[in-house]
Structure 1
C-alpha cells in the first residue's frame, strides 16, 4: 500500500498549492485502489486523494473499505480532511484502520472512529 500511495502522491496534480497527496484504500475483497489529489483553478472543484481512491474502488465494484492509507510530504501528519473522513465512513465502520504516512513510511495508525467520533453513517438512514 505504501508503494502505491507514494506513486499516487508523485502523480498528483497540485500546481497551485504544491501539496501532493496519495491515498490507497483496500477493499473488503482485498483489492487495492489508489488516488491522488487533483487541483483546479476554481479551487472548490478540486478532488482529494482519498475521494479519488474511494471512487476507483466503487468503479471496480467493491463497496466496503477494510483499511485506508494516506501519504503526504512535510513534517506534519497528513490525515484525511473532514469531508473525506465522511466519504470513508460511507464504506467503512469505526474500526477501519487509517494509516497516516510520510515519504519515509508509516507515522501513525488511527481507527476511523478516532478520526470521526460519533459519526453519521448509512445505518442511521435505515
Structure 2
C-alpha cells in the first residue's frame, strides 16, 4: 500500500513524485512554497516537500486506523529525508503547522487526499561568530 504521495514545491511549480518511474510530474506551474507553512522561511526555501495521505487507497484498514497509519508513514518518510540531508550537508525541518485546507485547495486535492506534513530542504545558514 502506498498511502503517502510526495509533492515537491519548487519556485517553478508544484510536482508530484511518480514512484513507479522515479520522476516528477508537474501539477501546477505556480510557486506554492509560501502555502506550505506559516514560518517566514518557507516561501524562500529552495524546496518544500508536502506529504499527502491518500485515504482512498487505504481500503485495507478500518477508518479509525487510517489517520494514525498515515501519520506514522509520513513521519518515517520525513525521517529518511532528515538522514539524507544530514549525509549531504543540507538542512531540513519538518512542519505540521500549516493551513491544511488552503493547501489542499491550492493543490486541487480531492476529499480523500489530506496534506499531513511539509518539510523544507535547503542549505543551512552558517552562523558567523566574532
* TM-score computed with the length of structure 2 as normaliser: 0.36
Which has the larger Rg? Answer: 2
Of Structure 1 and Structure 2, the greater strand share is in 2
The structure with higher relative contact order (CA 8 Å, sep 6+) is: 2
